[in-house]
Amino acid sequence: MILNKEKILIVEQSHAHQDLIYGQVLFLIESGFKPVLWVNDSIAFHQDLIKGEFDVIRHKFDTSKERKTFAIELRKYVKKNNIKKIIFNTAQGVKARNIIIRFLFKKVKIFGLLHDGKKLSSGFTQWSMSLKIKKYFVLNDYISDYCRNLNIK
């Protein structure tokens, strides 16, 4: 009997940070999940470097129309495939916020990778994303310590 593995989305809307995706995909595969990458078409991600079952869905993200389409199609995909968890590889900035707020009142859990701890302490953009993102991952202990010292509730 073949069991369907739970799909977890990894979203990268920028054209950078692809180096961080490889480790996340490997971890999810080894943990029994099926990662689905929903990425900017211009990202340099080479899926043949990873052995295991995962999907890559590429979308253009350069113009405002393409960004809106990216967000709409992502939301449709999440609903159609009953996705329960999304990881934002870059969980900061206006472009990420504009996608994340579309899930504000949905049951899907969103996690974020924070590249800069200072973002948590200032700005409406990060605050509004944090309404949905309850758990952030950080790149190193320095950022983790910095965020802990902010005492943000």
Q: For the residues 73-98, what does the mean pLDDT come to?
A: 92
Which pTM was predicted? 0.85
Query: With 90 as the cut, is the pLDDT of residue 124 above it?
Result: no
Asked whether the CA dihedral 43, 47, 50, 53 is positive or negative, the reply is positive
Confidence of residue 123 (pLDDT cuts 50, 70, 90): confident
Give percent above pLDDT 90 in the chain: 33
Query: With 60 as the cut, is the pLDDT of residue 17 above it?
Result: yes
Confidence of residue 14 (pLDDT cuts 50, 70, 90): confident
Mean of the per-residue pLDDT values of the chain: 83
Q: Do 132 and 107 form a contact (C-beta atoms < 8 A)?
A: no
Query: With 70 as the cut, is the pLDDT of residue 135 above it?
Result: yes
Which has more pLDDT, 150 or 23?
A: 23
Beta strands in the chain (DSSP E): 7-12, 34-40, 55-59, 85-88, 109-114, 133-138
Mean pLDDT lowest among 10-14, 44-48, 100-104, 136-140: 44-48
Largest CA distance in the chain: 51
Query: With 90 as the cut, is the pLDDT of residue 34 above it?
Result: yes
pLDDT for res 103: 92
